[in-house]
Structures are given as C-alpha cells and as structure tokens.
Amino acid sequence: MSKGALLVDGALQRDALVWLSHTYSEHSLSPLLSGTPYEALADVGPILLEADEGSRLHTDWLRGSTMLESAVWLKTEVGQGRLYELLRRRLKIQSPDGREYWLRLADARPLVNAWHADAVWPDGFWHGIHEIWARYKGNACRIWKNPLPMNDCRDLDDGTAATFTLDWPLLEALACNHEAAQEAAL
C-alpha cells in the first residue's frame, strides 16, 4: 500500500472545506493558504488531505465520487506536514518574462492538459512526489512520474514568493481548455 495525499480545489465545490472535514473526518485536512497573507481564500483551496492508497478517501476518489472527480492524488513517501510546506511553496510561479501566476495544483483539468501536451515540469518542482494521478475519462490515470522525487531546486522562504519559473509550453498547456477547444472544433 502506497502513501499518498489528495489535493482538492475547494473553488469547484460549494462549502468544500466543511464537506471534506465532515465526510472524511478521519483524514488530516490542511488548506494550503492557511497562515499566509491569503488566509481569506483558504476555504476555497487548494486543500490537502492525507489519503493513503486503500483509505476510504482514496477509494472514493478512485470510484469517481462527484465531489472528488477533479481532485489530484499524489503518491508520496513524504509526511503530511512536509508535503504541505512543499506544495505551498509551489503555488505561485512566474513566467519567463517575470509575471507571477497562481497554479491550480488541486484542479486535475490543467494538469491533464499539461500531460496531453507532453509539457515538461522543471527539475525539482514536484520534490517529494513520486507520481501524480488524475481522473480522466472516468478512470484514474497516472499523468506524471517523477524520475527524481528527492531532487528539490527551491530555497526555503515564507511560502508565498514565486521563485519557480515555468516555461511557455507548460504555461500554455496549463491554461488550455481542451473541452472548449474541442467544442469549438465541432
């Protein structure tokens, strides 16, 4: 059985934090924006939950629970507290021209877009994470495997500075709405 965590984008569900804490009270729950200057947005995510393989939360996600279908499962050996800090430091990134953006790491749709585009993540970006899984066409699919999960190229900071630069192909893939593009093509 693998250790893991589920990232949920609370902006996609009404009262997600309340629902998650009530429905999965046995799982450790951590809003990534808690304790930052963006505390007011903590309830809308991203929300990190401990979700080891075989747990009720992981099983519900695998089955395609409507409330969890856009969540992302992370296979990791890193403890929940450390994973919380690692992910929080990766929420804000910059483009090659220096503009800052917030990533929706807990919404599977942009990550699936990057997977489809074969976009490349910077070395060390997914430090501590062995695999990323998302639901796609009704199934759980591994959308990324980290060849060097212990490689971390990020300095410690307060958790809100953007120090990772993502290249344009990755940013474009993350921003692409494949469903809208497919509908427009029909």
Q: Is 29 helix (H, G, I), strand (E, B) or coil?
A: strand
What is the DSSP secondary structure assignment for residue 122, as one 8-state letter? P
Residue by residue, pLDDT tens for the chain (186 residues) are: 789 999 999 887 778 889 999 999 999 899 999 988 888 888 888 999 999 999 999 999 999 988 899 999 999 999 999 999 999 988 889 999 999 998 889 999 999 999 999 999 998 899 999 999 999 999 999 999 998 888 766 554 545 567 789 999 999 999 976 544 333 332
Sign of dihedral through CA atoms 111, 106, 3, 136? negative
Domain coordinates of the chain in residue numbers? 4-185
- Nearest-angstrom CA–CA distance, 163 and 175: 19
Task: Give the strand pairing for 92-94 and 164-165.
Answer: parallel
Q: Please state, in angstroms and as integers, the Cα–Cα distance from residue 52 to each residue in 67, 68, 124, 134, following that order.
A: 18, 15, 23, 15
Q: Minimal CA–CA distance to 29: which of 43, 41, 40, 39?
A: 43
pTM for the whole thing? 0.88
